[in-house]
Amino acid sequence: MRIGFIGSGAMVAAIARGGVAAGMNASDFLFTDAHGVHAPALAAELGASVASSNGSLAHQVDILVLGVKPHVQSAVIKMIAHIVRERPEMCVVSLAAGRTVESIAKDFGAAVPIIRVMPNVNAQIGRSMSAICSLGASEEQVAAVEALMNKVGRSIRIEEKDFPAFQALAGCSPAWVFQIIEALARAGVKHGLTKEVSVAIAAQALAGSADLVLEASEQGTVPSELIDRVCSPGGTTIAGLLAAEAQGMSTCLISAVEAAIARDAEISTRTR
């Protein structure tokens, strides 16, 4: 199965590198990019190939991944739409935020198999959380794309109406977590640790806590139960937790999600 990528930016590179690292054949990957810079470099790195044009790529692949920015996706689609319409066995994968499967189908001017994927920045280290939905794609096609995304983390199939919430929880939250780590590290510096040591301590603590939540969830344990386990009566953890809640920690994070969802709605309106 050949996979073609139109656009060869950071997210496409992360997915392709993850696929090759997980054992996929680099010769099955084909790349293009608008300026002829990133695609050749990525192909050379992986031992893959570069297509002479987007149209040439569309003629050759079984899965066509649109890795371009949302604001240019429509124009790119219109250049290859006639080729895609002639190849109903090929599915199109969109990585663009804010572009619904219906809007993508409208650009193609016909019913073509479309799969929308939303990864996050952690794909670059093989720890992405990706959402998948589809329109007109077969189970086999969706499963193939799901397998590809699982090479760079975990994926989940959800309804497209839930993508804005997913984007906030998975796409935006890494930046918020980076800020949390930065704030904790500053507190460490305040109390005598170096910044480097403080960042390492905070980052590892959060990474381990996330892994523990995922492992515990498999046993039906929810985060609130884990909180109770580490908050000893009259101890330091509960004192810190209550102080954080008094300053609005939970309210702040919920507000961040709400703001991200609202902004997604604004962007989606402009990119339809």
Helix (H, G, I), strand (E, B) or coil at 230: helix
Contacts of 133 (CB under 8 A, 6+ apart): 101, 115, 116, 157, 158, 159, 160, 163
6 is in an annotated binding site: yes
149 is in an annotated binding site: no
118 is in an annotated binding site: no
Phi, psi of 133 (to 5 degrees): -140, 170
9 is in an annotated binding site: yes
Helix (H, G, I), strand (E, B) or coil at 153: strand
8 is in an annotated binding site: yes
Give, in order, the Cα–Cα distances in Å from 133 to each of 93, 136, 166, 169, 233. Answer: 10, 10, 12, 17, 45
220 is in an annotated binding site: no
Helix (H, G, I), strand (E, B) or coil at 65: strand
Which strand (E) or helix (H) includes residue 63? strand 63-66
Work out the number of other CB atoms within 10 angstroms of the CB of residue 48: 20
Q: How far apart are CA 123 and CA 240, in angstroms?
A: 32
**Among 94, 11, 8, 6, CA closest to 45:** 8
**Gyration radius of the chain's alpha carbons:** 21
Q: How far apart are CA 118 and CA 186, in angstroms?
A: 32
Annotated binding site for NADPH: 54
Annotated binding site: 6-11, 54
Annotated binding site for NADP(+): 6-11
